[in-house]
Structure formats: structure tokens, C-alpha cells
Amino acid sequence: MQWKDTGWIQMVFLLGMIFMILLNIKRAKGTKELYIRRIAGLNAIDEAIGRSTEMGKPVLMVPGIGDLNAISIQALNIFAYVTRTAARFANPIRICIANPAVYTVAQEIISDVYQKEGLGDRYDPDSVRFVSDRQFAFAAGVSGIIHREQTAATFFLGEFFAESLIFAETANSIGAIQVASSTETTQTPFFIAACDYVLIGDEFYAASAYLSREPVLVGSLVGQDWCKIAVIGLIIGGFITNSIEQPKMLKDEESGKMRYLKREERLIYRIFHPEVDQEKEAK
Amino acid sequence: MNWLFLAQAETPEYNFWNGAPGSPALLTKVVIALLVGIGIMIALMFAPTRLRRPLVALATFVAGGFWMASTFWPTAPDAVTEGRNASEKVAIFLKDVTSVVADFSNVLTAFLLGLGIYSIVSVHGKRILKRQQDWSFSVVLFASIVLMAIFGYADWMDEQNRTAAVTALSPGFWNRGRDLLFDGMLQNMDAAMFSLIAFFILSAAYRAFRIRSVESTILLSTALIVMLSLMGVVVSAWDGLAGDFAGGNLKLSEISKFINSNLQTPGIQAVKFGLGIATLAMAMRIWLSLERGGLNS
């Protein structure tokens, strides 16, 4: 990336955001007083597990079909919380996975949860399953498990694509409580239409902080809010400068007539596209 | 057996990290890398528990730092092969190493896929042995895995000795078998699963669009406008009736355009901004090992 020539402002903004996040993590250490607004989907986790305990049916969890990345790690973090609650009530769990790397990490995390709760004997290694790495084979496999085992609660959290609605509608058809979230904005409407609770956008990432109230995570969440304020500020700044420049007129060099500024001649555009100025200088 | 096909055929220039296929230099490098890898694994296994966390943190930091550097470090011009200054030298080093490091994850994934297959064998093997409900489907699964592996591999080996034109004219036994299994069965079953979405959309939309609250009424109204705006006959009739009334803004196509560009797009952009910032925060926590087990700590 030739940031020196083309995008230094993005680099500065990125470093600024990283600074804000790390600063707030440092600030939040040692305090648990920071406020996080209520998120209905996360409050519903205990309700869903309670229901499956009453019915004696398993809780199903799917961390999406993506690779081992921040999204799947976050989904497994939430599943660790769900598993711990389920383990206390001796409730069976099923975690269906489409990626071998995620499968290995999930096995470690879930086994660790049972060990830490002192319930190692309740851990069933087959409760974490690699189903298939092929999208629709995975969809068919998970739908089969939902039907055969009549899961009472389902958690679809992570990176979902076209298979999202197949899962959600299958689980809905057997009356399971569903908590879902997809980092793919194209799939979120499907989950909203078919599931009981949906975590939209960054609510998915806020889950760890919301459920654990750990200072590092809460501080990070506050840092994210600062970043959002900075982005909003930038949008407002762009709106104002563009509005000021919009009615400005200048004399066209070629035709000699007065004209409005072109998009690439406006301040905000030039800040984010410094190569335009460099090309002009080169000419 | 000819193992030369495993060599990196797409890398014509050799550097510290690779070598000519079959050359003693490459073999030596592979052996050294293997020994170093085994050494690291043994060291990790015998490392005291209190040392493991810092070691993992260090490995995470180095790996993350490498990708950060390879993304943000200014690249050297394509024509430059020998660095003229420190910046270009680093850029060329990063360029050489990136493909090697990317291969690390491929090798790891290959090992992990073996663990995934073990999981499938474990779950379905127990089901067959214990004659649990629907055990016959597990038998079909095993048969499918074995058949697909045999035909896939045999066809691939066959292809090494035949050109594509020859295969197209007279496909062999393995090629026909592989086509039947892959194109004739697997692809069609995939398509069948995909086609289910059409019916699921209908049932999900029916439930979502029932008028139960103010929100669902707004959802229904906007969805109706957008859906109608995609029907040519309706658009033509509506726009004809609306004419230039209220500056032409009551035309169905204009209302739909307004919803798309002023309500839907900004909403999606806002969600994406939130997701992007949250991913950045999560990545920083993982990179700097601040995550410490998250909800499992």
C-alpha cells in the first residue's frame, strides 16, 4: 500500500482510532462503572437455555461458515458463555462447524469451559462437530440435526451467507427460540424476518463486554464509541465543507466560462485522494 | 512416483525461502524447516505452563506484526528486484516472505482438515456401531466420502497423463465416474438446497410482514413500495397517474429511489462502520493478547 503517496489521511485516521481504543482500555482497567445499554438478544440467552433445560432438548450453536478470524473467535466467546450456563444445568449442547481450524479451536474452548466449571465428566467430545466445509452440505447437515434432535434453542452467530435462512426457517419450523447475528449485512434482514432475537452490526462484538463486564472489553467498547463519534464528526465536516463549496464558481480554463466546482476539485475529495493533486503537478 | 508436481511451479525466482523443485538445496531447506518445526512443538509441549501464555502472546504479536507490515509497508516498483534503499529492501523481503507465510496457513489447514474428518468418522462411526436412529444415512455418508476420494484422486492422476482435449474426446472411466458423482450428484444436491431458500423467503416474509406493531407496519409499507417498484406494469401505471404532480416526486420509481438511497444505503453504511470499528478493536485485543479468554476467563 503506497500510503505516503495516496492515502496518508486514512493511515492517520486508523492510527487515531487505534489510539482511542487502547486509551479507553487503559482508562477502564480497574473500574466496572461504565454503562452499556440493554441488548435484548443477549438478555434472551439465559431464557433460551432455561427453556431447553425444561424441555430436555439440546442447545444448538453455529459460528457461521467463515475461516478462523476475529468473527469466529467472537462467536466462540459467546458460545463459551452459553456452554457454561448449559453445563451448569446439565443441558446437552451441539456446536456445528464448517471450518476445520474453527472446529479445533472450538473443541479446546468448550472442553476448557467444562473443566473450569469442574464438570469435565459432562463434556461430550462429539458435541462439537465438524459437519462439512461445503456450504450447502453444511446447511443440509445442520438442518438434519435441528430436525432429528428437535433443538429447543439455537444460536446462529458469525459469518453467514445464503444458508442463513435455511437454518433460521428450519429452526423456526420446530419452534426453537433463536438468537442470531450475521456480520454480513445482506443476511441480517433474513435473520430479522425469521428469528426471535437478532444482534445487529456491532452488537455482536459488544456481546463479550455486555456479558462479562470485563474492564478491558468494556473499555474497548467505549473506545469504539469514541471512534464512531469521530466518524460522525468527519461526516458532518464533509457535509459542511461540501455545502460551502457547492455554490462556489470558477472560470473554466478551457472554455473561459464560469462553472461550479467539480467533485474532484472539492476539499474533502482532495484530502482523501491526494494523488489528484500529484497528477496535476506532474502535468 | 513423480513428486515434482508438489513444487511451487508459479514461483520462477528462487530466494532464501524456496528452491528449484527436486534440488538438494530445497531438500535441505525442507529438512531444516521440519526439524525446526518439530523442535518448536517439543519446546512448547515441555514449556512450563506459566511460560506458555507469554510465548503464545509473542507468536501472535510477531504474526500480526508481519501482516501489518506486509499490508502497510510501501511496496517497491515491480521492476526493482534489488533494493536501492532500506525501505525497498524491506519491501522486497516482505514480498518474498509473504507467499511462504501464506503457505504456513495452508499447511496448517491441511492438518486441521484431518481432525475434521476424524470428527465425522467419530460421530458417524459410533452411530453405525451402536445402531442408533438413522444409522443407515451414516453408511451412505462413509460410502460417499470413500467413492468421492477414490474417483477424485484417480481422475486427477489420470489428468496428469492426458491433455484436456484428449479427455474431452474420450473421457476415461475415472473421469466419467468423477463427473457423475461431482457434476451429476453433488452439484445438483447443492442446487436443490439453494433452491429451498426461495420457499423459506416466502414463509419468513409472511411472518415478518404481518401487521402486529408500528415497526412491522412501516416494514410492510416500505417493502410493498420497493416490490411494486420492481414491477414494470405497476410502475408504468402509477408513474403515468402521478405525472409531474409535486414535482414528479410522487412517481413510484422516485419514491423507491428515495427509499434506497436515503434510507437503506445510509442504514447499511452505518452498520458497516460499526462493524468495521468493532472488528478493528477486536483485532487489536487479539493482536496485543488483551482478549485473555473473553467470556471464558
Say whether residue B272 is in contact with chain A using an 8 A CB cutoff. yes
Q: Which residue has the higher pLDDT, A15 or A280?
A: A15
Closest CA to B189 of A142, A139, A187, A164: A139
* Interface probe, candidates A202, A214, A235, chain B, greatest B C-beta count within 10 A: A202
Residue B224 falls within a domain, yes or no?
yes
Residues A191 and A56 both lie in one domain: yes
My answer on whether A22 and A113 are in the same domain is no
Instruction: Find the DSSP H helices in chain A.
Output: 3-6, 8-28, 40-55, 70-88, 100-116, 135-149, 164-173, 188-194, 203-212, 215-245, 267-272, 275-282
C-alpha cell at B52: 506458555
State phi, psi for A158 to the nearest 5 degrees: 145, -145
Phi, psi angle pair for A157, to nearest 5°? -130, 125
> Are A193 and B117 a contacting pair at CB < 8 A?
no
**Contact list, B128 vs chain A (CB under 8 Å):** none
Judged against a pLDDT cut of 80, whether residue A274 lies above it is answered with no
Cross-strand pairs, A96: A129
Strand partners, A181: A157
pLDDT score for B84:
82
Instruction: Kindly state the DSSP code that residue A120 receives in the 8-state scheme.
Output: G
Which of B199, B277, B279 to mutate to test binding with chain A, by most A CBs within 10 Å of its CB?
B277
Radius of gyration over alpha carbons of chain A, in Å? 24
Nearest to A220 among B109, B275, B281 (CB): B281
Residue A251 phi/psi, 5-degree rounding, is: -85, 125
Instruction: Please give the pLDDT value at position B2.
Output: 43
For position B147, what pLDDT does the model report? 96
pLDDT value at residue B45: 82
Cβ-based contacts of A209 with chain B (< 8 Å): none
> What integer pLDDT is reported at residue B138 of this predicted model?
93
Q: In what order do the strands lie in the sheet with A93-97?
A: A128-130, A93-97, A59-64, A153-159, A177-182, A197-198
Whole-angstrom Cα distance, residue B256 to residue B223? 10
> For A35-92, how does the pLDDT look when each residue is reduced to its tens digit (9 = 90+)?
888 888 888 999 999 999 999 999 999 999 999 888 999 999 999 999 999 999 999 9
Same domain? For A92 and A178 the reply is yes
Give the position of cell 471512534: A227
Residue range(s) defining the domain that contains residue B242? 210-297
Q: How many domains does chain B have?
A: 1
Res B52: pLDDT? 80
Question: Considering the domain boundaries, does residue B3 fall inside one?
Answer: no
Q: A212 and B194 in contact by Cβ < 8 A? A: no
SS3 B188: helix
A191 with A164: CB under 8 angstroms?
yes
Partner-chain contact B292 A140, CB within 8 Å: no
Residues in chain B with pLDDT < 50? 1-9, 11, 294-296
Both A21 and A48 in a single domain? Answer: no
Q: Is residue A251 over pLDDT 70? A: yes
All residues of chain B having their beta carbon less than 8 Å from the beta carbon of residue A100 are 109, 112-116
* Closest alpha carbon within chain B to A172: B204
Shared domain for A17 and A153, answered yes or no, is no
Boundary residue ending a domain (A165, A180, A212): A212
Nearest in space to B297 (alpha carbons), one of A63, A210, A204, A212: A212
CB contact under 8 A, A100 and B277: no
For residue A2, the model assigns a pLDDT of 56
Taking only the tens place, the pLDDT of each residue in A90-101 is 999 999 999 999
Residue contact B126–A126, C-beta within 8 A: yes
Please give the backbone phi and psi of residue A50, each rounded to the nearest 5 degrees, phi first. Answer: -60, -40
Is B297 near chain A, with CB under 8 Å? yes
Amino acid letter at B191? A
| Residue B68 contacts A, CB cutoff 8 Å | no
User: In this predicted structure, what is the pLDDT of residue B3?
Assistant: 44
Q: Which residue has the cell 501464555?
A: B53
- Confidence (pLDDT) at A262: 85
Q: Which residues contact A95 (CB under 8 A, 6 or more apart)?
A: A60, A61, A62, A63, A79, A106, A110, A127, A128, A129
Check CB contact of B294 with chain A, cutoff 8 Å: yes
pLDDT score, position B7? 45
Asked if the Cβ–Cβ distance from B273 to A231 is below 8 Å, we say yes
The reply to whether A208 and A229 lie within a common domain is no
B208–A contact, CB cutoff 8 A: yes
Residue of B nearest to A81 (CA): B295
* The residue type at B259: I
**In a domain? residue B112:** no
Which residues are paired to A258 by β-bridges? A251
Task: Note the pLDDT of residue A278.
Answer: 59
**Contact between chains at A205 and B278 (C-beta distance less than 8 A):** yes
The answer to whether B56 contacts chain A (CB < 8 Å) is: no
B195 touches chain A (CB under 8 A): no
Interface of B with A in 90-119 (CB under 8 A): 108-109, 112-117, 119
Asked whether residue A64 falls in the same domain as residue A10, the answer is no
Q: Are residues A169 and A235 in the same domain?
A: no
**Does residue B15 lie within any of the structural domains?**
no
The minimal CB distance from A202 to the residues B204, B205, B275 is found for B275
- Disruptive mutation site among A107, A130, A150, A216 for chain B (greatest number of B CBs within 10 Å): A130
Chain A to chain B, count of Cβ pairs less than 8 Å apart? 184
User: Helix (H, G, I), strand (E, B), or coil: what is residue A180?
Assistant: strand
Per-residue pLDDT reduced to its tens digit, B193-243? 999 999 999 888 888 777 778 888 888 899 899 999 999 999 999 989 988
Q: Say which CATH number the domain at A208 has.
A: 3.40.50
> Which residue, of A172, A192, A212, is where some domain finishes?
A212
B293 φψ region: left (φ > 0), alpha (ψ -120 to 50), beta (else): left
Question: Are residues A22 and A107 both part of a single domain?
Answer: no
**Per-residue pLDDT at B4:** 44
Predicted local confidence at residue A110, as pLDDT? 94
What pLDDT score does B62 carry? 92
pLDDT digit string, tens, across residues A182-209:
999 999 999 998 999 999 999 999 988 8
Residues of B in contact with A124 (CB under 8 A): none
**CB-based contact (8 Å) between B282 and chain A?**
yes
Please indicate whether, in this complex, the C-beta atoms of A136 and B117 are within 8 angstroms of each other: no
B184-207 burial: b if 16+ Cβ within 10 Å, else e: eebeeebeebeebbeebeeebbee
In terms of domains, do A46 and A182 share one?
yes
Residues A245, A163, single domain; the answer is: no
Q: Are residues A8 and A68 in the same domain?
A: no
Range of the domain at A118: 40-212
Distance from CA of A6 to the nearest CA of B (A): 11
Whether residue B292 lies within 8 A of chain A, CB to CB, comes out as: yes
Domain count, chain A: 2
Task: Tell me if B297 is assigned to some domain.
Answer: yes
Please give the grid coordinates belonging to residue B97: 516472505
